[in-house]
Amino acid sequence: MAAVAAKKAEFDELGVAVLAISTNSQFVHKIWQETELSKLIDGGFPWPMLADMNGQIGRMYGVYEEDAGVNIRGRFIIDPDGTIQAMEVLTPSVGRNVSETLRQIRAFQHVRATGEATPSGWQPGKATLKPGPDLVGKVWEVWSVDQAF
């Protein structure tokens, strides 16, 4: 969460609302903010941290673990229409990649604005694909694997 907070300006520039949700209470969130997050990043986590103490939200997103009573760590990119465009669920021992989250948000926003498709590894300014019958069998003419990296 501190790495996400470190990129606040980029999330703001993209017009993204960030929410953190866990089964912890608002009191645990407050203590965590004061004793940990504020030491990792100046000002701590700048967005709302929601308490999903009964796991209702986690169940809706398929990340609530009944036996443990906790939400598994997940990341969801939800478009302005409320549709989940991407999700990632990881075990606690593997951290998320904030740069990849930002890349995906930019790609989803580009697709939404233009109707183009963004190939693997797409970054702003790189080649896009224009879906249609003229592209079938000719992707290799406009995109190559080395552009994914």
Task: Using alpha carbons, select from 22, 20, 19, 32 the residue that is nearest to residue 52.
Answer: 22
DSSP string, 32-81: HIIIIIHHHSTT---S-EEE-TT-HHHHHTT-EETTTTEEPPEEEEE-TT
User: Would you state the structure tokens that stand for residue 40, as one six-digit string?
Assistant: 């990792």
In a domain, 131, yes or no: no
**Full domain range(s) for residue 62:** 2-95
In a domain, 55, yes or no: yes
Residue 122 has what pLDDT?
A: 96
**Residues in the chain, pLDDT under 50:** none
In a domain, 138, yes or no: no
Number of domains within the chain: 1
Residue 49 has what pLDDT?
A: 96
C-alpha to C-alpha distance for 85 and 55, rounded to whole angstroms? 22
In a domain, 123, yes or no: no
In a domain, 107, yes or no: no
Residue 92 has what pLDDT?
A: 84
- Alpha carbon distances (Å) from 69 to 48, 65, 93, 108, 117: 21, 6, 18, 33, 39
Q: Tell me, what CATH number does 87's domain have? A: 3.40.30.10
In a domain, 82, yes or no: yes
In a domain, 12, yes or no: yes
Global pTM? Answer: 0.91
